[in-house]
Amino acid sequence: MIKYIAYCRKSTDEPDRQILSIEAQVAELEEHSAKENLKIVSFITESKTAKEPGREKFAEVLKEIEDGKADGILSWHPDRLARNSIDGGKIIYLLDIGKLLDLKFPSFWFENTPQGKFMLGMAFNQSKYYVDNLSENVKRGNRQKLRRGEWPNQAQFGYLNINKKIEVDKKRAKYVQKAFQLFATGGYGYADIRKFFNQNKIYNKSGHELHLDKVKRILTDPFYYGVMRFCGELYEGKHEPLISKKLFDKCQEVVKLKSRKVKNNKHLFDFLGLVKCGECGGAITAEKHTKYYKRTNRKAEYIYYRCSKKMGTCSQKYIDKVEIEKQLRENVLRASLPPHAAKKFLEWADKDANQEKEKSSGIVLTYQLQLKETEEKTDRLLEGYLDKVISPEDYQKKKNELVETKSLLNSKIKDIPTNGVEWLEPFQEFVNSALSAHKIARAKNSCHDLAIMAKTVGSNFFLMNRRLSASFKKGGFDALSVEAGAESATSQPPSNSYWLRDLDSNQDTILQRDVAYR
């Protein structure tokens, strides 16, 4: 008598998405086995798609057949056994070599004859065709949604799926915006952004804190400035952007900076790659030493920075980490703004911007002409792709560039009626960066962030006779450093009187003189 293994499968654990549940399949097979007087040695059930090979329970069924523990399979329909060519081929091969003697289905006829195996193969092919066709239909539907500017998947963090549309999550959106703003300053890492979310009780859907990989995906997703990235291709979205493209690009620069790894170093030294030797121009390297103190029975670790001397003879001596950190903080602090001064600058900038809103029509017209030109380029690119003049790779690369350009222009056109003038946003970013520099320079245990902020405000850092020098970036930081340097000649930080002196009486002149963003 043939011994059968009863195999039941459904594609998902969600009952409402499967017509016949596993429980219903088991009941049908038990009824069919009783009616046909079949001997069932075991029931094996599985909740996994058969679109691709690799089902563990199905492999267990085949192994028992090959080991001779059973010689027949009972299932609801052939599509429960296989929806791909590999698994279907294994079933037919076992029939060919005589390991599998029979197949029984309540909803399908089968005999172990050439005609029966032919019909079984047809059933497997039909099941595979159904899966392939369904996949193509889904892909085609997704492509059409993307062309219409609709996101076909679950809404991104900070958004919600409401009535088949992507709407802004009012609870989370403002914190996502703030996260981008904080990260763009260069003074905050992924862990800091996660801590910011946690402090404001912003968690994922399960109520747990965001994983660091999730935080990085948020900060690198163009969805937040209005562009959808799907399978490597960019599409214009109809959803409401949370940030500007300028802010997004600023964050990507920080991402690249934070992704850099120090090679061939056992320990991570915060200031490597930042400073060069002032005598020979060689790179500054670092060493870590451990000293044991007998009297107190303790070990202490010390870090020293020195010239690598790879450029030739150099007389420069080492400097310990504490001293270089102190000098670096002084330099960053010189190019910073304290909170009260930053607040004043932003208030005056907003006031000036409101007065210039009516003068922005000419700028808007220029951007509209550029936008029209970009759209024409997109149309010509598509024609070239359809005529097979352009390869798919070149088409996708160029199309992504044009989509980003259109997004940037649309953002500028949208911002001008709101902000009034183009200089306001970069000016605000500068003030916020100067404010972050002030906070980081005064914070404890912030060496990594200090190194990043140093690159934000300055360049050409040189170490000569254990003294650090730097060039501050033009457009604001250089002006702040010159005036603050004069005030701090006594090694004391600039006084409050400097930052606000003459500002109330002549604010426009101060803004134009110190920060040339107009």
Looking at residue 262, what is its pLDDT? 43
Topology of the domain comprising 3-143 = Rossmann fold (3.40.50)
At position 367, the amino acid (one-letter code) is Y
What does the alpha-carbon distance between residue 193 and residue 12 come to, in Å, rounded to a whole number? 35
> Could you tell me the end-to-end alpha-carbon distance of the chain, in angstroms, rounded to an integer?
92
Extract long-range pairs of 472-475: CB within 8 Å, 24+ residues apart: 472/334, 472/335, 474/516, 475/430, 475/515, 475/516, 475/517
Classify residue 36 by burial, with Cβ atoms within 10 Å: 0-12, 13-18, 19+. Answer: exposed
Which residues in 204-320 belong to E strands, given as ranges?
Answer: 227-230, 233-236, 275-277, 284-293, 298-307, 319-320
Q: CA geometry: angle at 226 spanning 225 and 229, to 5°? A: 100
Q: CA geometry: angle at 238 spanning 235 and 240, to 5°? A: 115
Adjacency order of strands within the sheet including 72-74: 39-47, 3-10, 72-74, 102-104
**How would you write the pLDDT of the chain (518 residues) with one tens digit per residue?**
899 999 999 876 444 444 568 888 899 899 999 999 999 999 999 988 888 888 999 999 999 999 999 999 999 889 899 988 899 999 999 999 999 999 999 988 888 889 888 998 888 888 888 877 776 777 777 778 888 888 888 899 999 998 888 999 999 999 999 999 888 877 678 888 998 899 889 998 888 899 999 999 999 999 999 999 888 888 888 899 999 888 899 899 888 877 755 444 445 688 888 899 999 999 999 988 888 888 888 888 889 999 988 888 899 999 999 999 999 999 999 988 888 888 888 887 777 766 666 566 667 778 888 888 888 888 888 788 777 778 888 888 888 888 888 888 887 777 665 555 556 667 777 888 888 889 888 888 778 788 888 888 888 899 999 999 989 887 788 888 876 644 544 344 444 444 444 444 344 433 443 443 33
Classify residue 182 by burial, with Cβ atoms within 10 Å: 0-12, 13-18, 19+. Answer: middle
Residues facing residue 4 across a β-bridge: 40, 72
At position 444, the amino acid (one-letter code) is K
Looking at residue 296, what is its pLDDT? 84
Topology of the domain comprising 159-259 = Hect, E3 ligase catalytic domain fold (3.90.1750)
The three-state secondary structure class of 469 is: strand
Q: Parse the chain into domains and list their residue ranges.
A: 3-143, 159-259, 275-340+427-514, 357-420
Q: Which of 46, 52, 55 is nearest to 75 (CA)?
A: 46
What does the alpha-carbon distance between residue 219 and residue 229 come to, in Å, rounded to a whole number? 14
In contact, 203 and 448? CB cutoff 8 Å: no
Looking at residue 361, what is its pLDDT? 64
Q: Which of 166, 163, 131 is nearest to 146 (CA)?
A: 166
Give the strand pairing for 102-104 and 72-74: parallel
What does the alpha-carbon distance between residue 78 and residue 105 come to, in Å, rounded to a whole number? 8
Q: CA geometry: angle at 29 spanning 24 and 32, to 5°? A: 125
In contact, 311 and 282? CB cutoff 8 Å: yes
**Tokens encoding 463:** 């170490």
What does the alpha-carbon distance between residue 475 and residue 493 come to, in Å, rounded to a whole number? 22
Looking at residue 423, what is its pLDDT? 63
Residues facing residue 9 across a β-bridge: 46
- The values of phi and psi at residue 102, to 5°, are -160, 155
In this structure, is the dihedral angle defined by the CA atoms of residues 36, 39, 45 and 50, taken in order, positive or negative?
negative
Looking at residue 168, what is its pLDDT? 93
Q: CA geometry: angle at 496 spanning 491 and 501, to 5°? A: 115
Which residues in 249-404 belong to E strands, given as ranges?
Answer: 275-277, 284-293, 298-307, 319-320
- Give the CA distances from residue 196 to residues 72, 199, 316, 437, 463, in Å, rounded to whole numbers and listed in that order: 60, 5, 42, 18, 36
Looking at residue 294, what is its pLDDT? 82
Q: CA geometry: angle at 153 spanning 151 and 154, to 5°? A: 110
In contact, 431 and 518? CB cutoff 8 Å: no
Looking at residue 264, what is its pLDDT? 46
- The values of phi and psi at residue 304, to 5°, are -125, 145
**Is residue 43 left, alpha or beta, with left meaning phi > 0 and alpha meaning psi from -120 to 50?**
beta
Q: Which residues contact 267 (CB under 8 A, 6 or more apart)?
A: 288
**Tokens encoding 73:** 């399979």
Q: Which residues contact 424 (CB under 8 A, 6 or more apart)?
A: 349, 350, 353
Give the strand pairing for 467-472 and 458-464: antiparallel
DSSP 8-state secondary structure symbol assigned to residue 282: P
At position 412, the amino acid (one-letter code) is K
Q: Which of 189, 306, 231, 275 is nearest to 461 (CA)?
A: 275
**Tokens encoding 485:** 């340097």
Give me Rg for the CA atoms of the chain: 33
